[in-house]
């Protein structure tokens, strides 16, 4: 079997390549392939130059030409001799009735990523036309938190492999692994004018790649002019989902706009919950060195974050909730989120067992950053062997290494 690593030069695929180079993912790939759209920020090409020198296997760069030229240049249709836009990249538009439309057209991934790699593999390894036997295993850098992106191969002679998914490695895990091994974190890998950028991506490009950001502004204007001339619908098109010219889009954060941020809202609710609880005579049962009010704020942030991550509704109530769960999963299982500011924190519970909880979650809070370390069923935490006194009274405690991973 021929092992080929699909290299995008982003966080996941770069970490996967370096893991393979260190023997942490086996077998050693025969090669890696980078499909170049000729529209990546310069920082991506610089990182790729560095990465090639770290790998014991060759990295081949393939290209179907300039995606920018293909996206801007109209093609001549043989049937009527007229020129039309190819709709190579997904764009946002305004319909004649004034309504905004979602991303229209998208051939770029297939034409400039998938097909160039497949063509190179066939030629490089002398695969016959119409080959039916599976001879190639293509490694793809999709991580455990992106399971929905996994797809089967389009051709009979190749099969996909997802090493990061096999080992349940997330994007955050990849970043941690790179830091642990003293490797630089890759820049964001995507075409500088990709319409799938969110505001955070556009801000990153503006602040870290100003040359490319200006090129994106110019591209946005030019493609609008081209569609006005050649597209059959003649609709105004835009790179940004707001359907505004990129240089007119308000890219400020909510905080910069003076709006409430989620961590500020969590702090307000946490403080209120603490005041109401103490006013109702509910004793602070926190097992930590922070005061009750700070613990309530951390707990509220962790509850909000976990509910968002699991796509369930958080409990927004402020009244004392002694003996109840923090939330309910779609499966009906009830959970209790335990928060701590210590990186090496254990999952803790008092001796008073909550009858309404099915499982417990450990979250480490660092400022407004949440790191969910793992979880345990109640029966796994509430065990005699887990009883210990960590300086705040006897309770149940479970080390992070013994927690289940999400």
Residues 345 and 381: their CA atoms lie apart, in Å, by 14
Residue 281 has pLDDT above 70, yes or no: no
Task: Give all strands (DSSP E) within 199-343, no chain letters.
Answer: 237-238, 327-328, 334-340
Residue of 223, 283, 293 lying closest to 67 (CA atoms) = 223
Residue 256, domain member (yes or no): no
Identify whether 376 is part of a domain. Answer: yes
Instruction: Write down which residue in 248, 275, 305 finishes a domain.
Output: 248
* Least confident among 38-47, 185-194, 308-317: 308-317
Residues 157 and 280 placed together within one structural domain of the fold: no
Q: Are 347 and 227 contained in the same domain? A: no
- Whether the per-residue pLDDT at 123 is higher than 60: the answer is yes
Asked whether residue 58 carries a pLDDT value surpassing 50, the answer given is yes
* Residue 208, pLDDT score: 94
If DSSP states are collapsed to H, E and C, what string results for 113-179? HHHHHHHHHHHHCCCCCCCCCCCEEEECCCCHHHHHHCCCCCCCCEEEECHHHHCCCCHHHHHHHHH
Residue 344 tokens, joined: 């090496």
Tell me if residue 331 falls in helix, strand or coil.
Answer: coil
Tally of CA atoms within 13 A in the half-sphere of 69 that contains its CB: 5
Nearest CA among 378, 360, 395, 372 for reference residue 285: 395
Domain count, the chain: 2
* Statement to judge: residues 286 and 372 lie in one domain: yes
∠ CA 305-306-308, rounded to 5°: 65
In a domain? residue 254: no
Query: Would you say residue 31 lies in a domain?
Result: yes
Q: How far apart are the C-alpha atoms of 312 and 279, rounded to whole Å?
A: 30
Residue 395 lies in a domain: yes
**Are residues 150 and 109 located together in one domain of the fold?**
yes
Given phi > 0 = left and psi -120 to 50 = alpha, else beta, which region is 243?
A: left
Q: Give tens-digit pLDDT for 198-225.
A: 999 999 999 999 999 999 999 999 999 9
Asked if 39 and 179 sit in the same domain, the reply is: yes
User: Do the Cβ atoms of 339 and 298 come closer than 8 Å?
Assistant: yes
Q: Which of 97-106, 121-130, 320-329 has the lowest mean pLDDT?
A: 320-329
Is 90 exceeded by the pLDDT of residue 282? no
Is 388's pLDDT higher than 60? yes
Question: What does the pLDDT average to over 76-105?
Answer: 85
Question: Of 99-113, 147-161, 251-265, which has the strongest mean pLDDT?
Answer: 147-161
What are φ and ψ of residue 265, in 5° steps? -60, -40
Q: pLDDT band for position 260 (50/70/90)?
A: very low
Q: What CATH number does residue 89 fall under?
A: 3.40.50
- Per-residue pLDDT at 111: 95
Same-domain status, 161 and 288: no
Name the one residue in this structure whose structure tokens are 């081209």: 226
> Do 107 and 239 share a domain, yes or no?
yes
> For the residues 353-363, what does the mean pLDDT come to?
90
Specify the higher pLDDT residue, 340 or 261.
Answer: 340
Identify how many contiguous H helices and E strands the chain contains and give both numbers. 12, 17
Q: In which residue are the tokens 């204007």 written?
A: 221
pLDDT at residue 287, rounded to an integer: 46
User: Do residues 232 and 318 share a domain?
Assistant: no
Q: 36, 32, 49, 15: which is closest to 121 by C-alpha?
A: 32
On whether residue 255 sits in a domain, the answer given is: no
In this prediction, residue 8 carries a pLDDT of 96
User: Does 363 have pLDDT greater than 70?
Assistant: yes
Q: Is residue 340 part of a domain?
A: yes
Residue 308: which residues within 8 A CB-CB, separation 6 or more? 314
285 has a pLDDT exceeding 70? no
For residue 222, the enclosing domain spans 2-248
* Position 142 pLDDT exceeds 90: yes
Q: Are residues 228 and 335 in the same domain?
A: no
- At 54 the three-state DSSP class reads helix
The residue among 222, 248, 274 that closes a domain is 248
Cβ proximity of 54 and 81 under 8 Å: no
pTM: 0.66
pLDDT of residue 26: 96
**Residue that finishes a domain, picked among 224, 248, 272:** 248
pLDDT tens by residue, 144-179: 888 888 999 989 999 999 999 999 999 999 999 999
Q: What is the pLDDT of residue 315?
A: 67
Cβ neighbours of residue 13 closer than 8 Å, sequence gap 6 or more = 5, 6, 7, 140, 141
- Asked whether residue 169 falls in the same domain as residue 241, the answer is yes
Cβ pair 216, 192 in contact under 8 A: yes
The pLDDT tens digits for 34-52 are 999 999 999 999 999 999 9
Same domain, 211 and 266: no
Query: At residue 275, does pLDDT exceed 80?
Result: no
- Residue 270's pLDDT band (cuts 50, 70, 90): low
Q: What is the predicted pLDDT for the residue at 130?
A: 85
In 3D space, the residue among 315, 309, 377, 316 whose CA is nearest the CA of residue 347 turns out to be 377
Angle between helices 199-208 and 210-230 in degrees, nearest 10: 120
Q: Please tell me whether residues 28 and 93 are part of one structural domain.
A: yes
Residue that is written with structure tokens 């966080």 in the block:
11
Predicted local confidence at residue 180, as pLDDT:
95
Model pLDDT, residue 294:
65
Mean pLDDT of all residues belonging to the chain: 87
Give the start-end residues of each E strand in 36-89: 59-62, 75-76, 83-84
Is 253 domain-assigned?
no
């Amino acid at each position: 079997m021929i092992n080929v690593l699909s290299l995008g030069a982003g966080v996941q695929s770069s970490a996967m390549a370096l893991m393979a180079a260190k023997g942490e993912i086996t077998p050693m790939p025969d090669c890696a392939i980078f499909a170049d759209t000729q529209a990546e920020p310069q920082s991506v090409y610089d990182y790729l130059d560095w990465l090639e020198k770290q790998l014991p296997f060759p990295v081949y760069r393939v290209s179907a030409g300039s995606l920018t030229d293909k996206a801007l240049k109209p093609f001549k249709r043989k049937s009527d001799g007229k020129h039309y836009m190819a709709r190579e990249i997904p764009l946002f538009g305004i319909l004649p009735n004034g309504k905004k439309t979602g991303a229209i057209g998208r051939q770029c991934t297939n034409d400039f990523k998938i097909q160039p790699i497949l063509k190179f593999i066939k030629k490089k390894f002398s695969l016959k036309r119409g080959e039916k036997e599976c001879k190639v295993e293509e490694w793809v850098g999709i991580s455990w938190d992106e399971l929905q992106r996994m797809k089967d191969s389009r051709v009979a002679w190749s099969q996909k492999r997802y090493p990061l998914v096999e080992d349940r490695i997330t994007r955050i895990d990849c970043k941690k692994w790179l830091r642990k091994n003293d490797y630089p974190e890759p820049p964001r890998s995507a075409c500088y004018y990709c319409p799938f950028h969110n505001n955070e991506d556009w801000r990153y490009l503006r602040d870290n790649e100003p040359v490319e950001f200006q090129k994106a502004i110019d591209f946005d204007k030019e493609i609008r002019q081209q569609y006005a001339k050649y597209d059959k619908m003649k609709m105004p098109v835009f790179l940004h989902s707001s359907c505004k010219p990129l240089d007119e889009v308000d890219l400020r954060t909510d905080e910069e706009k003076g709006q409430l941020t989620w961590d500020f809202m969590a702090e307000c609710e946490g403080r209120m919950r603490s005041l109401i609880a103490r006013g109702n005579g509910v004793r602070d049962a926190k097992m930590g060195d922070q005061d009750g009010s700070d613990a309530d704020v951390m707990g509220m942030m962790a509850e909000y974050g976990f509910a968002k991550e699991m796509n369930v509704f958080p409990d927004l109530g402020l009244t004392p909730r002694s003996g109840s769960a923090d939330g309910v999963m779609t499966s009906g299982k009830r959970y209790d989120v335990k928060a701590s500011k210590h990186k090496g924190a254990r999952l803790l519970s008092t001796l008073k067992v909550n009858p309404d909880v099915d499982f417990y979650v450990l979250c480490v809070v660092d400022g407004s950053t949440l790191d969910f370390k793992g979880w345990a069923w109640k029966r796994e935490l509430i065990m005699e062997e887990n009883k210990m006194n960590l300086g705040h009274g006897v309770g149940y405690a479970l080390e992070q290494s013994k927690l289940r991973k999400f």
